[in-house]
Structure 1
Amino acid sequence: MTSSQGITLQNASVTLGGKVILSGLSLTLSEHRIGIIGRNGSGKTTLLRLLAGLIPPTTGSVTIDGLNPTDRKAILPRLGILFQNPDHQILFPTVAEELGFGLRQQGQTEAQAQRAVTTLLAAENRSHWAKALTHTLSQGQRHYLCLLSILLMQPATILLDEPFAGLDLPTQTRLARRLSAVPQRLITITHDPATVSACDRVLWLDQGGIRADGPPDTVLPAFTAEMARIGEHDADTDLAD
């Protein structure tokens, strides 16, 4: 696994369709476990895309281990992304093909990739998955397949987009156990405080800016109290103009 300095944003802003979504973010994300929390509409999805290099900042800069994230080849061993919906990520008809794709992108031969896939599936007690059609897997299994694809490429940092959304409780438990054991830096983006309660650092994103940044036992009670306050009011009863 490549050593990692982390992700650095310097006065990074994003404007989409004439609307400012993120404004003046200056951060260094280097801790082992980082949570980014915010209500819907706070800019979390845009921030995920910015950190991943899927969109450029309108102003300012973003670097991953000192590199421009738009250099996809250089970033492959440094950053992986686990999207909320596995169907937005899976490209190939069989599990073995899906797992091998990222390794071939990194320059491994077909034979090398096949060996790595076989070894991983055996270690995961899932050798029988190799020839399985990806569309026949359950949502939880497809989600886990996407995680395995990322882990095979051994990136230094993994971005997690609402990693437990839509999963039943046993699947959430298995995924949480697997994620807790990985050596990579994990940056989890979510609206659920419980998901990031064990992180080293939590950032509260609100209206495109950082409202709080610190340990979870400081940030999460303030976030939860504010969400409860907002929930006490029927803020969405008026029709939009």
Structure 2
Amino acid sequence: MSKLSTGIELVSASVRLGGRVVLDGLNLRLTEARIGILGRNGSGKTTFLRLIAGLIAADAGTVRVDGVDPFKDRKAALAALGILFQNPDHQILFPTVEEELAFGLAQQGLPQAEALGRARAALVSEGRAHWATAPVSTLSQGQRHYLCLLSVLLMQPRTILLDEPLAGLDLPTQARLARRFAALPQRLVTITHDPAVLADADRVLWLEAGRVVADGPPAQVLPAFTAEMARIGARDADADLAG
């Protein structure tokens, strides 16, 4: 990991959406190489990702990634952070593979011709030179996911945020991506509701109702989370929602 990466710091960070507190006074310093953010639907995980990515601003408190505010300084955020969304179709903007790969590099200031050249070189190194002019629409779900990852890696961020990175993929594709993630030098922050994905993390934070209810190694946090989800699942779901 780059020595320039000082980590992610939140000080009394809160976010309100639609008048509701979604993240509530978070105080965190995240410096580990492999960090998991765990929680059930509605716990605030996705809002947390959007906050540290600089896609939204905190309503109170501060957020710093490698010492800069990712919401106010978008150029610095591009060097510090990359994001791999759960659904690649929410990330892909361009009709061909090479155009999609070149976009992030152009955002970082490279001339278009150089950005395209780097995109093609990356495809060659990955054994996928024939993808360059292929329409993105011809790629499978797993291939589009891979394209998004390659696009992020070309920008060489120091931290990569992974939003449910293996959800909806078949088992071989999951295995291939998991191996690729494990080999990356960047800090990875993985957002998920699946505790199995975080078994090899250095640190796991369990979010519930916008607050951290557990923070520690996976061997400590994952069994507690699994037990609580089993307890909640044993209750009547409709009654739980009504309450």
CA distance in 2, matches of 1:118, 1:224: 44
* Paired residues of 1:2 and 1:155 also in contact (CA < 8 A): no
Give 2:164's match in structure 1, choosing from 156, 159, 162.
Answer: 162
Instruction: Could you tell me which runs of 5 or more consecutive residues in structure 1 were left unpaired when the two chains were aligned.
Output: none
Q: CA deviation at 1:166?
A: 0.8
Cα deviation code 1:113-135 (max 9, x no counterpart): 12211221111111111011011
* Paired residues of 2:13 and 2:27 also in contact (CA < 8 A): yes
Cα deviation code 1:176-209 (max 9, x no counterpart): 1111111100000000001111000000001110
CA distance in 1, matches of 2:142, 2:13: 35
1:187 aligned partner, one-letter code: V
Q: How many residues align?
A: 241
Give 1:148's match in structure 2, choosing from 147, 150, 168.
Answer: 150
Q: CA deviation at 1:107?
A: 1.1
> Is 1:4 the counterpart of 2:5 in the alignment?
yes
> More deviation in 104-113 or 137-146?
104-113
Aligned to 2:46: 45
TM-score of the two chains, using structure 1 as the length reference: 0.97
2:60 aligned partner, one-letter code: T
CA distance in 1, matches of 2:39, 2:175: 23
Aligned to 2:19: 18
CA distance in 1, matches of 2:85, 2:105: 19
CA distance in 1, matches of 2:197, 2:180: 14
Q: CA deviation at 1:75?
A: 1.1
Q: Percent identity?
A: 68
Aligned to 1:133: 135
Q: CA deviation at 1:2?
A: 7.3
SS at match of 1:77: helix
Cα deviation code 1:23-78 (max 9, x no counterpart): 01000111000000001111111111111111111100101111010211111111
Superposed CA RMSD in Å reads: 1.4
TM-score of the two chains, using structure 2 as the length reference: 0.96
* Paired residues of 2:54 and 2:77 also in contact (CA < 8 A): no
Superposition map of 1:1-241 within 5 A: 3-70=4-71, 71-237=73-239, 240=242
* Paired residues of 1:6 and 1:65 also in contact (CA < 8 A): yes
Q: CA deviation at 1:110?
A: 2.3
Q: CA deviation at 1:112?
A: 2.0
